[in-house]
Amino acid sequence: MTPRARSKTRTRIRQVEGGHTSERSDQLATEEPLEIRLAAGGRTRTLAITMRTPGADFELVAGFLHGEGVIGHRRDARELRYCTDPALDAAQQYNVVTVELASTELPDLPGLDRHFFTSSACGVCGKASLDALESSGCESLPEGFEVDAATLYRIPDRLRDAQGLFESTGGLHAAGLFTADGELICLREDVGRHNAVDKVVGWALLEGGLPLTDRILMVSGRSSYEILQKALVAGIPVVCSVSAPSSLAVDVARRFGMTLVGFLRGERFNVYTGSERIRLPSAVEATR
């Protein structure tokens, strides 16, 4: 049997701190898609695909189905199982959970068809998510846009200072759109960081400002696949966060030529991909 996906993924980064750079390994929170299928009366249906860090998948699925009103009690789910076809690539296994319902009929839930893609075979993987982006027409972002490291140092404080709702609630994420000079031109807050990004991109769309090929996106918290996906579609070449990116976020950035910066705090940050867009001081360049 193929080992289940791990919750951490190792990667190589270039760390910039105090005018010096160093290469080292780092660990990312793994991000993989999980396909949720319902089975009843001899029929099987894909209900949704959600991005998650592997681990406690059955609990995740049960909680999701309960929250959506599909099951109300443990007895409503006869069995939860992985789809582990040994003929599949290792990366595709343990990314599908099938829930055998006690009912003999599948529920009629057309509003829950939120999956990004489906497959007639068991299993989905991160590569399929990237391929789906290409199939939808996403292309690598153009080169040419650059930003000074000193500008990146300033934008977390500017984002935080502009978070009016956060000051009063303490429980909101933020997404901010910045110019190459570090000017904040749009900030939106929401309980979900993905929603905050959607609001920023929606503002740009209504203002006729897409694509955002000369802008920087800064998000509170971490960078995930969904955030990189939204930034890619909007044409944003540089995405920064105060925390870590997930493994699939790094994969998206690498595949589509984006610059991904994490742990942007004070005069320190990690560049996970696309370091050519960041202009470093001459003293830093000399240490390469």
The CATH number linked to 274 is 3.40.140.10
Same domain, 120 and 214: no
State pLDDT tens for residues 35-66: 889 999 999 988 988 888 888 888 888 888 88
State pLDDT tens for residues 7-32: 788 899 999 988 899 999 988 878 88
SS (H, E, C) the chain: CCCCCCCEEEEEEEEEECCEEEEEEEEEECCEEEEEEEEECCEEEEEEEEEECCCCHHHHHHHHHHHCCCCCCHHHEEEEEECCCCCCCHHHCCCEEEEEECCCCCCCCHHHCCCCCCCCCCCCCHHHHHHHHHHCCCCCCCCCCCEEHHHHHHHHHHHHHCCHHHHHHCCCEEEEEECCCCCEEEEEEECCHHHHHHHHHHHHHHCCCCCCCCCEEEECCCECHHHHHHHHHHCCCEEEECCCEEHHHHHHHHHCCCEEEEEEECCEEEEEECHHHEECCHHHHCCC
Mean pLDDT of 92-117: 74
Give me the pLDDT at residue 132, please: 81
Whether the per-residue pLDDT at 131 is higher than 60: the answer is: yes
Would residue 1 count as lying in a domain? Answer: no
What residues make up the domain containing 164? Answer: 8-29+140-285
Determine which one of 83, 122, 125, 186 is catalytic.
122
Whether the per-residue pLDDT at 285 is higher than 60: the answer is: no
- End residue of a domain, out of 135, 162, 193: 135
- End residue of a domain, out of 74, 105, 135: 135
122 is catalytic: yes
More confident residue, 74 or 281: 74
Whether the per-residue pLDDT at 2 is higher than 70: the answer is: no
pTM of the model: 0.72
Same domain, 52 and 69: yes
State pLDDT tens for residues 147-168: 999 999 999 999 988 876 555 4
